[in-house]
């Protein structure tokens, strides 16, 4: 597609429920990143996928968080047993990856998750 | 020391003013640098890449100082529409890690 697409745009869930967030990166972008941003805060790195390499999961805050990327394209971020502190905007970005960063990183419009 | 540091501001300036932001980074292996703009409740968008020789795009000028490990953004003739948060982004592009680190942003408010 022309841009990075994320769905849903908004999600309200009850504490303890599982949620799945989806990201469809720009076609041809090999690198995909998940970040989250709490109100008034900076971007917190969660996980990074590059091609077929093993993902860098160093930013995942707990084992309730997991992500996968199928076929080197679409990615889903899953949060199990959601907690109120998980409430944030979850942003996905993609890039050509590696050293081809002239175009920087393109973000989707995010999923606003609210855990009640 | 944080990896990427920015003055959060806000910088409150009148239309037409010139304003400059700095951003310091701690990883000397950093190779790629960017300025992003983020409007309220929107996603960050690329404003400009920062090249070693410095670069200009209209009213915006970006500079890189590797010796002192900082990048800067200069905005001339500020417009009301420039009001936003400006994020500094640093990426190592070496050692196998291409994960960009974002600063927390500098808030700019341009008033009439």
Per-residue HEC secondary structure of B16-53 comes to: CCCEEEEEEECCCCCCEEEEEEECCCCCCEEEEEECCC
User: How confident is the model over A3-45, as pLDDT tens digits?
Assistant: 999 999 999 999 999 999 999 999 988 899 999 999 888 899 9
Q: CA-CA distances (angstroms) from residue B26 to A3, B3, B68, B85? A: 32, 5, 10, 21
Q: Please tell me if residue A88 touches chain B, with a CB cutoff of 8 Å.
A: no
In 3D space, the residue among B27, B10, B30 whose CA is nearest the CA of residue B19 turns out to be: B10
Taking CA atoms, what residue in A is nearest to B5? Answer: A42
Q: CA of B46 to nearest chain A CA: how many angstroms apart?
A: 7
In this predicted structure, what is the pLDDT of residue B96? 57
For residue A25, give how far its alpha carbon lies from the nearest alpha carbon of chain B (Å).
Answer: 14
Backbone angles phi, psi at B76, to 5 degrees: -100, 155
CA distances from A100 to A3, A10, A20, A45, A97 (A): 18, 32, 30, 20, 6
Closest alpha carbon to A4 in B50, B45, B91:
B45
Residues B64-108: tens digit of each pLDDT: 999 999 999 999 999 999 999 999 999 875 555 678 889 999 999
Q: Do A105 and B100 touch (CB under 8 A)?
A: yes
Closest by CA position to B87, among listed B105, B68, B70 = B105
pLDDT at A100 over 50: no
- Cα separation, A99 vs A102, in Å, equals 8
Query: CB-based contact (8 Å) between B70 and chain A?
Result: no
Cβ atoms within 10 Å of A56's Cβ, excluding its own: 18
Percent of chain A past pLDDT 70, that is, above it, reads 93
């Amino acid at each position: 597609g022309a841009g990075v697409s994320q769905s849903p745009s908004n999600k309200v869930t009850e504490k303890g429920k599982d949620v799945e967030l989806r990201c469809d990166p720009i076609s041809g972008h090999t690198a995909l990143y998940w970040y989250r941003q709490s109100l008034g805060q900076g971007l917190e790195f969660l996980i990074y996928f590059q091609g077929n390499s093993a993902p860098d999961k160093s930013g995942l805050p707990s084992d309730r968080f997991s992500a996968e990327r199928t076929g080197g394209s679409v990615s889903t971020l899953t949060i199990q047993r959601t907690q109120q502190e998980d409430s944030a905007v979850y942003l996905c970005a993609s890039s050509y990856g590696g050293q081809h960063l002239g175009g920087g990183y393109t973000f989707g419009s995010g999923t606003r998750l609210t855990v009640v | 020391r944080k990896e990427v540091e920015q003055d959060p501001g806000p910088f409150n300036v009148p239309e037409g003013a010139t304003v400059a932001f700095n951003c310091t980074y701690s990883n000397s292996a950093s190779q790629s640098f960017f300025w992003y703009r983020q409007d309220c409740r929107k996603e960050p968008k690329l404003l400009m890449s920062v090249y070693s020789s410095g670069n200009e795009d209209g009213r915006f000028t970006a500079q890189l100082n590797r010796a002192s490990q900082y990048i800067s953004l200069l905005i001339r003739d500020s417009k009301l529409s420039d009001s936003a948060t400006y994020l500094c982004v640093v990426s190592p592009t070496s050692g196998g890690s291409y994960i960009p680190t974002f600063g927390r942003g500098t808030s700019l408010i341009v008033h009439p």
